[in-house]
Amino acid sequence: MNAQDTLDQHTRETIEHHFSPETGSPFWLKWAAENWDPRKEVQCFADISKFPHFQDEWLRDITNEEWVPKAFAGRPYNVFETGGTTGLPKQRVGWDDYKHDYEMFSDQLDDDAFPKGSNWLMVGPTGPRRLRLAIEHLAAHRGGSTYFVDLDPRWVKKLIIRKEYDQVERYQRHVIDQAVEILKHRDIKCLFTTPRLLESLAERVSVPGLGVRGCFCGGTTMTPQTVRFLVEEVLEKKALFVPTYGNTLMGLACSVPLTDDYSVTYYAPQPRAVLRVVDADATQKTVDYDSYGRVELTTLTREFFMPRFLERDEAIRRKPCDRYDWDGVGDVRPFGVMENKVVEGVY
Amino acid sequence: MSNIPSIPVLRRGEVYRSLEQQPINAIGTDEPAAFMSMANSGLVKRDLNFVGQSRNVLRKIPAHDLMQMCIDAGDHFLNGTLPVGEEEYPQTPDDYVKSLSATSGLPHALIRMNMNKLHEIFTEMPTIMRGLTRGLDLAVLDKGYGDQQGVPVSYSANTEALAVVLPSNSPAVNALWMPALVMKIPVLLKPGREEPWTPWRIIQSFIKAGIPKEAFSFYPTNHDGSGAIVRRSGRVMMFGDDSTVSQHALDPRVEVHGSGKSKIIFGEDCIDDWEKYLDIMVESVSANSGRSCINTSAILVPRHGDAIAEAIAKRLSEIKPRPFEDPEAKLSGFANPKFAEYINGAVDAGIADGGARDVNEPHRGRERHEIFQNMHYLHPTIVRCDTWEQPLANREFLFPFASVTEVAQEDMLDSIGSSLVVTAITQDPEWVEELLECPHIERLNLGAWPTNRVKWDQPHEGNLFEFLYKRRSIHIAALAHV
């Protein structure tokens, strides 16, 4: 079965699961009753376009109980948060998705750079985020343990909005101080952090010099120039750099190995999530290959169904490749960054 | 020059081509006149940790040798063919003028005037250094200590480099950082978006004259990179408006060159002869297209306000937009049309407040804001204000603009506020004494001297030497090698 057939079949199964009165969530069952029956109308992934765009405010305004599929009734759920500089953050409930996602991701990791049985360090947002459990699971899945240094991005964002840049730098130093101590005194070979924190870490110590062999990064825009800088100077071409694109709502999109132009292309973990690059003014249509468009995410797991969510990012639509037989998203950047000032890259 | 250069990042003199290439378009076209390598902020931060290496290179060269190299560099700058971009295309002085004009909107004649001014900075460096150091023997900088007029002195550097965030609108501002090299302080320059040309050519002139390339870092970068430069450098020179000035007012690392609010003021004793000083007033308002902080933005007179405003306006109305290459062109356009729109709107809003009128309006017979050959211009404007409290009376804009206001002589010095340059037309000894005591005036011209003319031994807008060095007390009991 090719990737498209697999996706179509997975779409039908997911729709059946979320819109069946036996297994679906109160939110989607109510939605179907008020609109139309997706079990009849959706027979392949292309039919997902019949749904309107998912509104992420729903994840804040609707109680978490409404999102629990009956199939998971009685199992306490994890609450994962996203955003939330002010007010109630958006929340997503989950059970095992993060484990599936990061086990899939583990299969893509190079065992030389991320040796099995070695320990990890995560420097970045932990707290109520999915990432914290995900990284620990990834390390455990590969036979290692994880050390953590937390960074609260909501506080950093507030400082930036208030133009308290000195405080930002002091807070960042505080975070890096802790990371340096762990790297110096514990046997760490694998690192997860954000590009900014990785840069700061490398201003203080040689990251590969302290034994790190692989670094996987995510969280903010990475231009080809930034990626090149991280590979050539920050990691000194001695540790492998693996950029990823992900969030609480999707999981994790992997990148293909970097080439000389350092342009990063990510491929969604299909069929569990699908990324399309669409025309921002006519979102039914994808843009031509090698053109920029807005990123649209559809998540299709048994725990969570989220059709056609418009991300706050834009990217280049890239062609399928040998490893991934579906479209990729390249050189992701904040949507509208060329026209507007966007508070981005806070950590 | 038919080739389109790629202006690279210079990392302590080493050329670095970024993967992010930003086109600098010729004004009014989609045609790139150059591409600029944009440094990511991480790269800038990382390099800032190593600026001390550049300082060590400069420290080894005697200051008098650096001085001679600086003088030699002046000829290269004015007359030489110098490499531009990572391709090292040969750039003649004419090429430089055309490139800068194409991306900034400055007329060729004004650029040549600025070139001559910068040439003087190179060649007059001994005078400038005397002014900045009050005649210090530069060997003191080589040795770290010495003597000045029989008194032991010692100076230590406040910083390992001088960072400069440059604007796009006036090539002559580069004059402010150039003496740093003779003071053995390397420079780290962030060029304006439309104006990499002048700092690049100055750097190449210095290098050709023998100053080590390691002394020069050049980072075209975005807002984030600029922020890193400002936050992390030991000493920073930047340019901005009043809000930028107040933002950094308490930070001794940062010297902000903001608006000058320079003025011409007349005493009772000379005001009836005002016509004798018309040329000085016209030059002070309009030289360099009114873009300098030393251009006059307000004229205060005890009487004859209407006649003076009328006479200046009439003369200024002769200054009109002309093709860039016209040798008579004296008015600069705005590379960013939004600036022109914003400034024009601010003038209109001030007039709408009442108590002020645009004296040039009947003379120019058209709107103040004009698009000429795809370029946005603001015609020179004299505003006659009824009172000093009128909002336009003490405003400064980036084009030939000034207010004329009648203020009694005895009230003038209490009214003027902070003023970079004041030319006081008076012979009244009592008023001269008050002028000399006035704390608001940074540079005082007594008598007929345009505000826009500077003397190289008279530093204004801060003293670069005092910014970069501090004097320490010293006592040397015995040193074996002395």
Q: Hey, of B12, B36, B43, B247, which one would you mutate to test binding to chain A, going by the most A CBs within 10 A of its CB?
A: B43
Do B283 and B236 lie in one domain? The reply is no
CB A130 within 8 A of CB A95: no
CB atoms within 10 A of CB B105: 26
CB B248 within 8 A of CB B235: no
Q: Is B23 on the interface with A (CB under 8 A)?
A: no
Cβ contacts of residue B313 below 8 Å, gap of 6+? B359, B360, B363, B380, B382
pLDDT of residue B478: 67
CB B83 within 8 A of CB B204: yes
Is B397 among the domain residues? yes
Distance CA B186, CA B177 (A): 10
Do B11 and B105 lie in one domain? The reply is yes
Residue range of the domain that includes B72: 6-258+462-472
Q: Residue A150: what are its φ and ψ, rounded to 5°?
A: -90, 150
Q: Is A36 on the interface with B (CB under 8 A)?
A: no
CB A197 within 8 A of CB A179: yes
Using CA coordinates, name the residue in chain B closest to A344.
Answer: B224
Cβ-Cβ contacts under 8 Å, B19 against chain A: 223-225, 228, 261-262
pLDDT of residue A92: 94
Domain CATH number, residue B441: 3.40.309.10
Do B121 and B75 lie in one domain? The reply is yes
**Residue predicted with more confidence, A295 or B1:** A295
Span B237-243, mean pLDDT?
83
**Residue predicted with more confidence, A188 or B244:** A188
Q: Is A224 on the interface with B (CB under 8 A)?
A: yes
CB B201 within 8 A of CB B21: no
Tokens for B296? 């006059």
Distance CA A271, CA A104 (A): 12
User: Is pLDDT above 50 for A30?
Assistant: yes
Is B480 among the domain residues? no
Across the interface, of B18, B38, B227, the residue whose CB is closest to A165 is: B227
Cβ-Cβ contacts under 8 Å, B43 against chain A: 229, 233
Q: DSSP characters for B145-198?
A: EEEETTEEEEEEES-S-EEEE--SS-GGGGGGTTHHHHTT--EEEE-BTTB-HH
CB B347 within 8 A of CB B357: no
Alpha-carbon distance A146 to nearest alpha carbon in chain B (angstroms): 27
Return the closest-CA partner of residue B312 out of B199, B221, B404.
B404
Distance CA B275, CA A340 (A): 51
Compute the half-sphere exposure of residue A227: CA atoms within 13 Å on the CB side of its CA: 27
Is B454 among the domain residues? no
CB atoms within 10 A of CB B438: 16
Alpha-carbon distance B21 to nearest alpha carbon in chain A (angstroms): 10
Q: Do B20 and A224 touch (CB under 8 A)?
A: yes
Using CA coordinates, name the residue in chain B closest to A168.
Answer: B231
Q: Strand locations in chain A, DSSP E?
A: 78-82, 90-94, 119-124, 146-150, 188-193, 214-217, 240-247, 251-255, 265-267, 273-279, 282-286, 292-300, 305-318, 328-334
Q: Which residues pair with B60 in a beta bridge?
A: none
Do B247 and B269 lie in one domain? The reply is no
pLDDT in tens, B391-425: 999 999 999 999 999 999 999 999 999 999 999 99
Length of chain B, in residues: 482
Do B267 and B378 lie in one domain? The reply is yes
Cβ contacts of residue B371 below 8 Å, gap of 6+? B377
Across the interface, of A195, A224, A229, the residue whose CB is closest to B43 is: A229
pLDDT over 70, % of chain B:
98
Do B250 and B388 lie in one domain? The reply is no
Using CA coordinates, name the residue in chain B closest to A224.
Answer: B19
Distance CA B47, CA B163 (A): 12
User: Residue B443: what residue type?
Assistant: R
Q: Hey, of A220, A225, A259, which one would you mutate to test binding to chain B, going by the most B CBs within 10 A of its CB?
A: A225
Do B157 and B41 lie in one domain? The reply is yes
User: Is pLDDT above 70 for B442?
Assistant: yes
Q: Is B48 on the interface with A (CB under 8 A)?
A: no
pLDDT over 90, % of chain B:
82
Compute the half-sphere exposure of residue A179: CA atoms within 13 Å on the CB side of its CA: 32
Distance CA B423, CA B311 (A): 19
Distance CA A130, CA A59 (A): 15
Is B292 among the domain residues? yes
pLDDT of residue B248: 85
Using CA coordinates, name the residue in chain B closest to A198.
Answer: B42
Is B477 among the domain residues? no
Span A29-37, mean pLDDT?
97
Q: Is B149 on the interface with A (CB under 8 A)?
A: no
Tokens for A133? 């459990």
Distance CA B303, CA B298 (A): 15
Coil vs helix vs strand at A86: coil
Task: Note the pTM of the prediction, 2 decimals.
Answer: 0.89
Of the listed ranges A219-223, B1-5, B250-254, B316-320, the least confidently predicted one is: B1-5
Q: Is A61 on the interface with B (CB under 8 A)?
A: no
Cβ contacts of residue B245 below 8 Å, gap of 6+? B256, B258
Is B1 among the domain residues? no
Across the interface, of B18, B19, B45, the residue whose CB is closest to A199 is: B45
pLDDT in tens, B301-355: 999 999 999 999 999 999 999 999 999 999 999 888 898 999 999 999 999 999 9
Distance CA A59, CA A52 (A): 16
Using CA coordinates, name the residue in chain B closest to A225.
Answer: B19
Cβ-Cβ contacts under 8 Å, A169 against chain B: 231
Q: Hey, of B36, B46, B233, B253, which one would you mutate to test binding to chain A, going by the most A CBs within 10 A of its CB?
A: B46
Is B455 among the domain residues? no
Q: Is B43 on the interface with A (CB under 8 A)?
A: yes
Using CA coordinates, name the residue in chain A closest to B38.
Answer: A225
Alpha-carbon distance A233 to nearest alpha carbon in chain B (angstroms): 9
Q: Do B20 and A225 touch (CB under 8 A)?
A: yes
* Average pLDDT of chain B to the nearest whole number: 93
Do B281 and B364 lie in one domain? The reply is yes
User: Is pLDDT above 90 for B60?
Assistant: yes
Alpha-carbon distance A160 to nearest alpha carbon in chain B (angstroms): 11
Interstrand relation of A292-300 and A305-318 (parallel, antiparallel or unpaired): antiparallel
Q: Residue B289: what are its φ and ψ, rounded to 5°?
A: 55, 30
B243: pLDDT confidence band, cut at 50, 70 and 90?
Answer: confident
Distance CA B288, CA B283 (A): 9
Q: DSSP characters for B280-304?
A: HHHHHHHGGGG-STTSEEEEEESS-
Distance CA A38, CA A300 (A): 14
Q: Do A165 and B224 touch (CB under 8 A)?
A: no
pLDDT in tens, B20-57: 999 999 887 889 999 999 999 999 999 999 999 999 99
Q: How many helices (H) and strands (E) does chain A have?
A: 10, 14
Q: Is A94 on the interface with B (CB under 8 A)?
A: no
* CA dihedral angle for residue B136, residue B139, residue B140, residue B145, rounded to 10 degrees: -140
| Alpha-carbon distances of A204 from A93, A209, B229, rounded to whole Å | 38, 11, 18
Using CA coordinates, name the residue in chain A closest to B45.
Answer: A203
Alpha-carbon distance B420 to nearest alpha carbon in chain A (angstroms): 29
Q: Do A223 and B40 touch (CB under 8 A)?
A: yes
Length of chain A, in residues: 347
Q: Do A229 and B20 touch (CB under 8 A)?
A: no
CB B263 within 8 A of CB B416: yes
Q: Is B244 on the interface with A (CB under 8 A)?
A: no
Do B54 and B137 lie in one domain? The reply is yes
DSSP conformation class of A231? I
Q: Is B67 on the interface with A (CB under 8 A)?
A: no
pLDDT of residue A341: 41
Return the closest-CA partner of residue A287 out of A309, A250, A316, A330.
A316
Cβ-Cβ contacts under 8 Å, A196 against chain B: 42
| Alpha-carbon distances of A193 from A97, A153, A196, A202, A307, rounded to whole Å | 21, 13, 8, 12, 29
Number of domains, chain B = 2
CB B8 within 8 A of CB B16: yes
Using CA coordinates, name the residue in chain B closest to A331.
Answer: B20
Do B254 and B266 lie in one domain? The reply is no
Span B201-209, mean pLDDT?
98
User: Residue B61: what residue type?
Assistant: I
Alpha-carbon distance B11 to nearest alpha carbon in chain A (angstroms): 13
Alpha-carbon distance A202 to nearest alpha carbon in chain B (angstroms): 8
Q: Is A169 on the interface with B (CB under 8 A)?
A: yes
Chain A contacts in chain B segment 280-309 (CB below 8 A)? none
Span A113-120, mean pLDDT?
98
Token pair 């690392």: residue: B253
Compute the count of residue pairs across chains A and B with CB atoms less than 8 Å apart.
38
**Residue predicted with more confidence, B245 or B210:** B210
Tokens for B161? 């480099």
Alpha-carbon distance B40 to nearest alpha carbon in chain A (angstroms): 6
Q: Do A345 and B43 touch (CB under 8 A)?
A: no
Do B421 and B280 lie in one domain? The reply is yes
Do B140 and B222 lie in one domain? The reply is yes
Domain CATH number, residue B253: 3.40.605.10
The helix or strand, by DSSP H or E, that contains position B235, with its residue range, turns out to be strand B235-239
Return the closest-CA partner of residue A191 out of A277, A87, A121, A266.
A121
Distance CA B233, CA B246 (A): 19
DSSP conformation class of A184? H
Cβ-Cβ contacts under 8 Å, A261 against chain B: 19
Is B482 among the domain residues? no
Across the interface, of A165, A200, A226, the residue whose CB is closest to B40 is: A226
Across the interface, of B42, B49, B227, the residue whose CB is closest to A229 is: B42
Q: Do B40 and A166 touch (CB under 8 A)?
A: no
Span B455-476, mean pLDDT?
84
Using CA coordinates, name the residue in chain A closest to B221.
Answer: A225
B212: pLDDT confidence band, cut at 50, 70 and 90?
Answer: very high
